[in-house]
Amino acid sequence: MKDEKIRLINEEGIRIDGRRPEELRPLRIEIGVLDKSDGSAYVELGKTKIFAAVFGPREVHPKHLALPDRALLNCRYHMTSFSVDERKPLGMTRREIELSKVIREALESVVFLEEFPRTSIDVYVEVIQADGGTRTAGLTAASLALAEAGIPIADLVAAVAVGKVEGHIVLDLCDLEDKFGEADMPIAIAPRLNSIVLLQLNGRFSKEEFKKALELAKKGIHEIYQKQKEALKNKFSEVSLMEV
Amino acid sequence: MSISQMKKSLTARIVQEKIYNLLVQGKRLDGRSPTDIRPINIVTGLVEKADGSALVSIGGTKILVGIKTELGSPYSDRPREGSFTVNAELLPLASISFEPGPPDERGVELARVVDRSIRESKCIDLEKLCLIEGEKAYILFIDIYVLDYDGNYYDPSTIAVLAALATAKIPKYEVVDGKIQKTGEYFNLQLQSLPFTVTFGIIREKFLVDPQIEEESALDVSVIIGVDEKNNVISIQKNSPGLLPENLLEQMIEIALEKGTYIRQKFCEILKINI
């Protein structure tokens, strides 16, 4: 075994995939990509590729789970077996269970659930290729799928991971930076509400680094938010023209 | 599949109003100030058959942690290190809201958040847990059980895990002619760091630490912040639905660092550890 240290960032501050520290990977957003669902979206962030789809509001199964005062939000974050380097076993891992929970909680913060008592809204996030930032890209996609399904939300959710690699605070970690870097902080914001809806940190930040990372995340999220809105406008302006 | 939890009951909404009004005056239901932590107690070595154990209470919440060691093969990408896994179970005897069965998402989340704090702080020297490179190493099974739930099971779980680790006596094996033998002796895991978590509850623009159960059911949002002795933030988890106002975070991190130091002092005092 050789101890080859991977350099994640060089002297000029250029990262392993050629990006600058405050640069996002190429972002591609498509809306309405899966026909059978009520709303869907596809998000590609570099090599991270994700489908999200929404069903509902619809009848709750089993019925006894229905809530009298609002809709039930169900969420499943799942990775395909071939989305990672080593085949992921079928079924839900503990990581997927945790991420399903934090994604659900992030969405519950913005959906007007009380508009649809006794129903369920089901959100499915399928990661088809994982290269870092899947929960955040998944949320970005899921909020667009909700919007396409016509479910009222207080704001879109835009999300990104920030982190620290070799002492530098960087935006939108790729897989290698996540694995070998010193910190990974996924964060999702409802920009219009100035509120954080998902926040996790795995790694080490001083107080100052945390502040800097949060600022950088907000910048990245602003960029993603603009692209989300643009994608929605493109999608629906097309439809309205056809209908004219 | 993660499913919405029951929304705040009507009583919780009334209680929220009361808790908020108290918070505005810098007070709480049980007489604490917003940033006070309930009394902490630690008993170690309660379970003799475990290699390390601790029963920790923080107010009315009780957590039991036990550690068992086994020999196994190291992970292929870390051939020179032993390993550990953290599991957590919310026992049905702890609360009417916990049901029997395999760990639900709350248990999984608890285990993973504690795991992250322990891993990130590098408090266990994993290289010392390797016996034969790439072949044999110690594996620590750290199991958390919530015994009595009166709000905030995160902070006492981390305390209990660290107390069990700090006082654990691990059966020592040695390699003789390439074979593994039990020596009959034990060794201590000299912890290299003491990472603690601090749980925050937020109601509107006010926050409190270490919520007890009535407060917990009335919170808008809760967030757990882990800190180490070098004043680094090492883990964060927003673990409930709700909007977390951006402008509160900085202040919460200040308080987390302060309260982390307080818990660390208490911990060292009770376990008679010098730092």
**Residue B4 maps to a domain:** no
Residue B2 included in any domain:
no
Question: Domain range holding A82?
Answer: 27-235
Mind telling me how many Å the CA of A73 is from chain B's nearest CA? 5
pLDDT at A1: 40
3-class secondary-structure state, position A93? coil
**Residue A52 within any structural domain of the chain:** yes
Q: What is the dihedral of CA A21, A25, A26, A29, to 10 degrees?
A: -130
User: Rounded to an integer, what distance in angstroms lies between the CA atom of residue B20 and that of residue B207?
Assistant: 9
Interface with chain A: mutation pick from B238, B248, B261, highest number of A CBs within 10 Å:
B238
**How many domains does the structure of chain A reveal?**
1
pLDDT tens string B87-118: 999 999 999 889 888 888 999 999 999 999 99
Domain of B31, in residue numbers? 10-271
Q: Is A86 helix (H, G, I), strand (E, B) or coil?
A: coil
Tell whether B180 is covered by a domain.
Answer: yes
**What is the reported pLDDT for A242?**
60
Nearest to A199 by CA among B226, B161, B8, B6: B226
pLDDT in tens, A114-156: 999 999 999 999 999 999 999 999 999 999 999 999 999 999 9
Q: Is residue A46 part of a domain?
A: yes
Does the pLDDT of residue A4 top 90, yes or no? no
What residue has token string 């999608």? A235
**Per-residue pLDDT at B8:** 63
Using the predicted structure, report yes or no on whether residue A3 has a pLDDT greater than 50.
no
CATH of the domain at B93: 3.30.230.70
Q: pLDDT (tens digit, 9 = 90+) per residue, B17-61?
A: 999 999 999 999 999 999 999 999 999 999 999 999 999 999 999
Mean pLDDT of chain A: 93
Within a domain: A5: no
Question: At A241, is the pLDDT very low, low, confident or very high (cuts 50, 70, 90)?
Answer: low
The answer, yes or no, to whether residue B10 has pLDDT greater than 80, is no
Chain A nearest CA to B237, separation (Å): 4
From first CA to last CA, the distance across chain A in angstroms is 67
- Which of A102, A128, A116, A7 has the alpha carbon at shortest distance from A60? A116
| A207, burial (CB in 10 Å: exposed 0-12, middle 13-18, buried 19+) | middle
CB pairs below 8 Å between A and B: how many?
Answer: 126
Query: Could you tell me the two tokens for A212?
Result: 């800097």
B88 backbone dihedrals φ, ψ, rounded to 5°: -140, 140
Phi/psi at A112 (5° precision): -80, 75
In a domain, B5, yes or no: no
On whether residue A194 sits in a domain, the answer given is: yes
Query: CATH number of the domain that A175 lies in?
Result: 3.30.230.70
Searching chain B, which residue's CA lies closest to the CA of residue A101?
B2
Count the Cβ atoms, other than its own, within 10 Å of residue B117.
28
Q: Is B69 a member of any domain?
A: yes
Q: Once rounded to an integer, what is the mean pLDDT over residues B71-95?
A: 95
Predicted confidence (pLDDT) per residue in A155-194, tens digit = 999 999 999 999 999 999 999 999 999 999 999 999 999 9
Q: Is the dihedral of CA B260, B261, B266, B272 positive or negative?
A: positive
Percent of all residues in chain B with a pLDDT value above 90, rounded to a whole number: 87
Residue A129, CA distances (Å) to A173, A221, B131 in order: 15, 21, 37
Which ipTM was obtained for this model?
Answer: 0.85
pLDDT in tens, B153-190: 999 999 999 999 999 999 999 999 888 999 999 999 99
Residue type, A72: L
Are B262 and B196 in contact, with CB atoms under 8 Å apart? no
Is A168 contained in some domain?
yes
Number of folded domains in chain B? 1
CB contact under 8 A, B238 and A94: no
